Amino acid sequence: NAGVTQTPKFQVLKTGQSMTLQCAQDMNHNSMYWYRQDPGMGLRLIYYSASEGTTDKGEVPNGYNVSRLNKREFSLRLESAAPSQTSVYFCASIRGWTGDNEQFFGPGTRLTVL
């Protein structure tokens, strides 16, 4: 049982480049989340998916797109990276459909945009 996995672990991009962050969970969880973590600001929700086929914006969705490919996988795409998107990105999942359950986190992706 790997839990929540993320790839890549580290990435350096130039301004304007695009990339996709991958997340997968093997716990049969319904809901999945993408957060960014910045110093002094905690975790801020970018997008979430309450179930396969649905996605919703969180607090800071601008500059990102997501795809809930199937129940296991939830990807985050940066179409044109900007230095302000330098951050650590965490994927998480929960068993139910609402936010009042324990979240299980992946190991994170450290992204630097030059």
Partner 1 sequence: AQSVSQHNHHVILSEAASLELGCNYSYGGTVNLFWYVQYPGQHLQLLLKYFSGDPLVKGIKGFEAEFIKSKFSFNLRKPSVQWSDTAEYFCAVPNNNDMRFGAGTRLTVKP
Does 1 help bind partner 1 (rule: CB under 8 A)? no
> Who's near 40: CB < 8 A, 6+ residues apart?
none
Judged by CB under 8 A, which stretch of 21-29, 50-58, 63-71, 78-86 contacts partner 1?
A: 50-58
Buried b (16+ CB within 10 A) or exposed e, 83-107: eebbbebbbbbbeeeeeeeebbebe
- Nearer residue to partner 1 within complex by CB, 17 or 101: 101
Question: Which member of 33, 64, 74, 89 binds partner 1 (CB under 8 A)?
Answer: 33
> Who's near 66: CB < 8 A, 6+ residues apart?
34, 46, 47, 49, 55, 74, 75, 76, 77
Measured CA to CA, the distance from residue 7 to residue 103 in angstroms comes to 19
Question: Which member of 93, 108, 111, 113 binds partner 1 (CB under 8 A)?
Answer: 108
Question: Which member of 27, 71, 73, 105 binds partner 1 (CB under 8 A)?
Answer: 105
Question: Which member of 45, 65, 71, 86 binds partner 1 (CB under 8 A)?
Answer: 45
Could you list the residues that contact partner 1 (CB under 8 A)? Answer: 31, 33, 35, 40-45, 48, 50, 56, 58, 90, 92, 97-100, 102-103, 105-108
